[in-house]
Structure 1
Amino acid sequence: MSVQVYQHTLKSPALFAGVGVHAGAYTRVSVKPAGVDAGIVFVRTDITDRDNVVPARGRAVCKTQLGTVISNEAGVTVATIEHLMAALVMLGVDNAVVELDGPEMPIMDGSSAPFVRVLDRAGLRSQDVARTYIEILDTVEVLDGDKRATLRPADAFEVAFDIAFDSAAIGRQSVDLAMDEQAFRDELADCRTFGFLSDVEALRAMGLARGGDMNNCVVIDGDEVLNPEGLRRPDEFVRHKALDAIGDLFLLGAPLLGRFEGVLAGHGLNNALVRALLARPDAWRVTTFAEALRQVG
C-alpha cells in the first residue's frame, strides 16, 4: 500500500493560464502553499464585493452538468475543478490556495497532465503533521436507473469504472486500477475529456462548451474520432471517467482508503456518493498513516 505519512503543500506557487472549456474565458491561476489542515481552497481574485473564498468540499457542489462546480454562501462559484483536484490528491498535495481571476478553471489539454507538470515544477514541501485519510468501513452506494457509484472497504485506494456508448468509437470500456501517485501518472493523468460533435450546438446554446475544441477535448462524430492525432490510449474515454471520479472524490476533504466503482456514472452521481458517505458516519472514519498500517497488518 502506498500511503503518505505527512501532509504536504507546495514549495512555491504553481502558475498557469488558459481558456475554460464552458465559459470560454481566459483565466490565470496561481496554486499557492497553505498551512496544515487548510485543505484545498479556491479564491476568486476577480471578485472583491463579497466573500470570494470557496472551500473545495462535497456539500459545496452546486452543479454537475459536464463538470463539477462549487459555490460558497455568497453565491461565488468556481467551475470545472475536477482535473486539478485529481492531480492535487494523487500527487499528495493536502493543503493549497488556488487563486483564479475568472469563473472557471482552465481546461488546458482536457486532462490532468498539464496540472501535474506545473505542480512538479513548483515542488512539494512536507508539513510536520500527519496526513489524514478517509477509510471506508462499510459499503455505500447510490443508484440512478442503470447508473451506479459505490465505495467499498479496501486496504488501499482502488478505482474501477465501466462505460457504454452506442458510438463504435467508444463502445463498452472498463478499467480497474490500484491507484497511487505512480499509477495516476502512468495510467490516467493524460486521458482527456470527450464529447460528441452532434451535441455542440445545443451545449453552446446553454452557455456550455464555448471554449471546447480539439485542442482540449476528444471530439467524436458518429463512430469516428475527429482529432487528427487520434487517441492517446485505446480506452482513453473510460480512463478519463476514472480521472474525473478521483477529482470529485477529493471533495471529501482527504484521500481515500477504499474502492470506488462507477458504472455509467458522471459528476452528478459522484457527488451524490460523496454526500451519501458524509451522511453515513458509521461507514467511514478518519485515519492516519500509522493507523492505516496497523489495519493492513
Structure 2
Amino acid sequence: MLQTTIQKTVRCKGIGLHSGKQVEIVLRPAVEDTGILFSLHTGVGSSFITPNPDLVVATGLATTLGNGKDSVSTVEHLLAAVRGMGIDNIHIEVRGNELPIMDGSAGPFVYLLRQAEVMELSKARRVMAVTKAINFEQDGKYVRAYPHDGFAIDYTIDFDHPQIGRQTLSLEITPDVFVDELAKARTFGFLKEVEYLHANGLALGGSLDNAVVLDDYGILNEDGLRFVDEFVRHKILDFIGDMAVMEVPLQGRFEIFASGHALNNSFLKYLYANAEDYLEERVLEPLYDKVAQKDLSPVYPEAVPVPA
C-alpha cells in the first residue's frame, strides 16, 4: 500500500465553533513521510505543528493542538476525514486559531478532499500496529485495543435521554465505509449546555446549523437526524479524528464505551508513552483502494474549492 497525498490545493471558509468568527483553511499536497502538517497564520507570523498525542493541549468541546506558542482548535473532524479517506500526507494551513465547524460533520471536508483528488506517492505506507491487548479505563468508561490487520471500531454510548439511550455500532473503517457510514454524522449537544456556554462567551459559533441539539425530550433540528443512530456514528468519527494525532496511522481493533475527547487523548498518550510495549511500526505492501467518487456537492455547497 503506497502513501498518498492530494493532487490540488483547495480552500474553504466557515464559522469557528469557539469564536463565532469566519476562519479559513487551505489544504495543500505534501511529499512522502510528511504526515499531517499544520501551519498556523495568526496575523503576527506563522508557526507549525506536526501532531502527536503530547501536543493535544485541550479537549473541552473539541480537540485543540498547541506548540507552546500557538494553538488550533476543532481539528478532529478534518483529521477524521484525512485518515478516513486514507490520506497520509497533507499540509493544512489555518488562518485563525481554529478550523471551521462547517455543518458539524466531516462531510464538507470529504467533499473538499474529493475536489483535491487523492493520489499515490512512491513510498510504502507506514503504520503503528497494536501488538497486544490493552484495557484503558477511567470512571467506568474505557478504550480497549487489540491486534488487528486494519482499523476496526466497536463503539457503545449510553445517554439517559429518550432520543439517544444505548447505541452500539461496529465497523471496519475503509475509505468507502467512512464516506458512506460516518462522514455526514454531526456533533450533538443539549440545549441547556448550549445556553450555558453562550451565556459564558463559549461556543459562540454553535447553532442548529452545525449540531444536533436536544432538549429534555426531543431533537430541536427541523430536519431531524441523518441516521437513526447518528449519535454513535459521530462518536466513532470523533474517535478516528482523535487517533489521527499519531504521527502515522494506527492499526488495530478498538472497543470503546462512553469515551470522549479527553479519554481518547488520555488513552493515546498512554499508548504513545508505552509504544515499546504495545506498538510496532510496519510497512504495508503497495496496494491502495481508491475512494469511490460519490457526488457530495449538492449536500455541502459551502465547501466549494477555490483555486490557490
The interval holding the TM-score normalised by the smaller chain is: over 0.9
After TM superposition, the runs of 4+ consecutive aligned structure 1 residues lying more than 4 A away are none
Once the two structures are TM-superposed, the CA of residue 68 in structure 1 deviates from its matched residue by 0.3
Secondary structure, counterpart of 1:97 in structure 2: strand
1:19 partnered with 2:15: yes
Tell me which residue corresponds to 1:295: none
Q: Which residue of 2 aligns with 1:279?
A: 273
Following superposition, the deviation at residue 291 of structure 1 comes to 10
Gaps of 5+ in 2: 288-308
The answer to whether structure 1 residue 290 and structure 2 residue 256 are counterparts is no
Q: 1:97 aligns with which of 81, 91, 97?
A: 91
Q: Percent identity?
A: 38
Answer yes or no: is the 8 Å Cα contact 2:124–2:286 preserved in 1.
Answer: no
Distance in 2 (CA, whole Å) between partners of 1:48 and 1:37 is 29
Partner of residue 159, structure 1: 153
Measure the CA separation in 2 of the matches of 1:175 and 1:186. Answer: 14
1:231 to 196, 207, 225: 225
CA positional deviation for 1:140? 2.3
Superimposed CA distance per residue, residues 102-158 of structure 1 (whole angstroms, 9 cap, x where no aligned partner):
111001111011100010011122111111111110122321111111221112210
Match of 2:35 among 39, 57, 82: 39
Once the two structures are superposed, what CA deviation does each residue of 1:201-259 show, in whole Å capped at 9, x if it has no partner? 32224442210111110000112000000000110001100000001001112222201
State the alpha-carbon separation in 2 of the partners of residues 227 and 272 from structure 1: 33
Q: TM-score, normalised by structure 2?
A: 0.89
**Structure 1 residues 211 and 274, CA gap change in structure 2 (3 angstroms):** same
- Determine which of 44, 56, 63 is the counterpart of 2:58: 63
Distance 2:5 2:286 in 1: 22
Shift of 1:290: 3.0
Tell me what 1:146 maps to: 140
Look up the SS of the partner of 2:96 in the other structure: coil
Aligned pair partner of 2:236 in 221, 229, 242 = 242
Does residue 1:198 correspond to 2:203, yes or no? Answer: no
Q: Could you tell me how far apart the structure 1 residues matched to 2:232 and 2:285 are?
A: 34
One-letter amino acid matched to 1:120: R
Query: Is the partner of 2:244 in helix, strand or coil?
Result: helix
One-letter code aligned to 2:124: A
Unaligned runs of 5+ in 1: 293-297
- Which of 99, 109, 118 is the matching residue for 1:115? 109
Counterpart position of 1:221: 215
Alignment partner, residue 124 of structure 1 = 118
The answer to whether the 8 A contact 2:143-2:267 is kept is yes
3-state SS, counterpart of residue 106 of structure 1: coil
